[in-house]
């Protein structure tokens, strides 16, 4: 759901400027562009899409607490890219290692479609409680089998190796976060408070093969939740979300120590 939100260079620059007062962003700004420099310490190609595009993960900061942020899984829900752009110029809190995957569905992002190039809904393809759903052409087509798609294989292998304490997955455009229980619930509530997104349940629908659910159930001690952004995301809102990621990571770090 949600139409693609296209970014412009000006919008990104404005969002970066808006982020500066609320998050610790690398200090030295080039006088010419007004855009803070990248703080990426390492970039890793974690896999290749159906059409041969690279799936890339960027690391900023280092520490014992690993947090992963996935900007896009549904290719036509790409507002999260404005947030992952900002995070690649941010300095995470002490002890936090942030891994940023702008899109785990680069074909869908390039083509402006929900699924991958095989028209598989990757958020129904993960190997936890996978179930056949639809046929090619159906908007939630789950693929021919669990983890049938190279993008799913890349992401599951990456997360199994990384064992992040938290995953944040961006979608559109329901403008909400589902509540949780225990530490998971506190983390979600913290992020919701920081961004003004309401905490409410998605009603109806059957959800199988969902990435965040796979992460929670497979990565030991790992938390993961979905952020449903609205139909559009202003540069100022993107900055609020980027700051909320850093703040929520610090909250989790403190809750665990
Ligand atoms: Zn979605």
| pLDDT tens digits along 20-43 | 444 444 444 455 667 899 999 999
Task: Tell me the pTM.
Answer: 0.87
DSSP labels for 22-77? TS-B-S---TTT-PPPP---EEEEEEE-TTS-EEEEEEES-SSEEEEEEEESSTT-
pLDDT digits (tens, 9 = 90+) for 71-109: 999 999 999 999 999 999 999 999 999 999 999 999 999
Mean pLDDT across the chain: 90
CA 246 / ligand 1 centre spacing (Å)? 23
Instruction: Give me the pLDDT at residue 257, please.
Output: 80
Going along the chain from its start, the domains and CATH numbers come out as 40-256 (3.40.630.10)
CA 27 / ligand 1 centre spacing (Å)? 35
pLDDT digits (tens, 9 = 90+) for 122-171: 999 999 999 999 998 899 999 999 999 999 999 999 999 999 999 999 99
Residue 18 pLDDT more than 70?
no
CA 126 / ligand 1 centre spacing (Å)? 14
Burial class (CB in 10 A: 0-12, 13-18, 19+), 182: exposed
pLDDT digits (tens, 9 = 90+) for 118-132: 999 999 999 999 999
In 3D, which of 78, 74, 71 has the Cα closest to residue 4? Answer: 78
Phi/psi-derived region of residue 71, left when phi > 0, alpha when psi is between -120 and 50, beta in every other case: alpha
Phi and psi for 205 in degrees, rounded to 5?
Answer: 80, 150
In 3D, which of 253, 238, 256, 171 has the Cα closest to residue 207? Answer: 171
Instruction: Give me the pLDDT at residue 185, please.
Output: 96
Phi and psi for 63 in degrees, rounded to 5?
Answer: 165, 180
Instruction: Give me the pLDDT at residue 15, please.
Output: 52
Token reading at 145 = 């089998």
Token reading at 178 = 């589902």
- Return the residue matching tokens 């280092």: 62
Cα–Cα distance list, 135 to 37, 121, 140 (Å):
45, 11, 9
Instruction: Give me the pLDDT at residue 5, please.
Output: 43
CA 92 / ligand 1 centre spacing (Å)? 26
CA 112 / ligand 1 centre spacing (Å)? 13
Mean pLDDT for the stretch of residues 218-242: 96
Mean pLDDT for the stretch of residues 187-206: 91
Whether the upstream peptide bond of residue 93 has omega within 30° of 0, thus cis, is no
CA 105 / ligand 1 centre spacing (Å)? 12
CB atoms within 10 A of CB 105: 35
CA 36/CA 154 separation, integer angstroms: 30
Angle between helices 182-195 and 235-256 (to 10 degrees): 150
As residues whose CB is below 5 A from the ion ligand 1, the structure lists: 74, 77, 171
pLDDT digits (tens, 9 = 90+) for 210-226: 999 999 999 998 999 99
Instruction: Give me the pLDDT at residue 14, please.
Output: 52
Sheet of strand 42-48, all strands in order from the earlier edge strand to the far edge: 42-48, 54-60, 96-103, 65-72, 166-172, 223-229
Angle between helices 235-256 and 9-19 (to 10 degrees): 40
CA 63 / ligand 1 centre spacing (Å)? 30
């Amino acid at each position: 759901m949600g139409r693609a939100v296209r970014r412009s260079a000006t919008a990104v620059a404005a969002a970066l400027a808006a982020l500066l007062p609320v998050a610790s962003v690398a200090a030295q700004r080039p006088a010419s562009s007004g855009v803070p420099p990248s703080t990426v310490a390492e970039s890793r190609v974690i896999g290749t899409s159906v059409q041969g595009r690279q799936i890339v993960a960027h690391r900023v900061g280092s520490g014992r607490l690993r947090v992963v942020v996935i900007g896009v899984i549904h290719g036509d829900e790409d507002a999260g890219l404005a947030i992952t752009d900002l995070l690649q110029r941010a300095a995470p809190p002490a002890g936090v290692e942030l891994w940023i995957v702008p899109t785990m569905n680069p074909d869908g992002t390039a083509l402006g479609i929900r699924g991958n190039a095989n028209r598989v809904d990757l958020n129904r393809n993960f190997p936890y409680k996978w179930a056949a759903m639809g046929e090619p052409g159906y908007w939630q087509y789950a693929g021919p089998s669990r983890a049938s798609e190279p993008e799913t294989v890349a992401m599951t292998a990456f997360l199994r190796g990384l064992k992040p304490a938290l995953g944040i997955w961006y979608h559109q455009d329901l403008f909400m976060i589902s509540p949780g229980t225990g530490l998971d619930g506190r983390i979600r509530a913290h992020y919701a408070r920081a961004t003004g997104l309401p905490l409410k349940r998605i009603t109806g629908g059957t959800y199988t093969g969902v990435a965040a659910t796979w992460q929670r159930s497979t990565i030991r001690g790992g938390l993961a939740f979905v952020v449903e952004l609205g139909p559009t995301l202003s540069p100022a809102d993107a900055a609020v979300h980027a700051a909320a990621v850093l703040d929520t990571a610090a909250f989790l770090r403190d809750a665990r120590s």
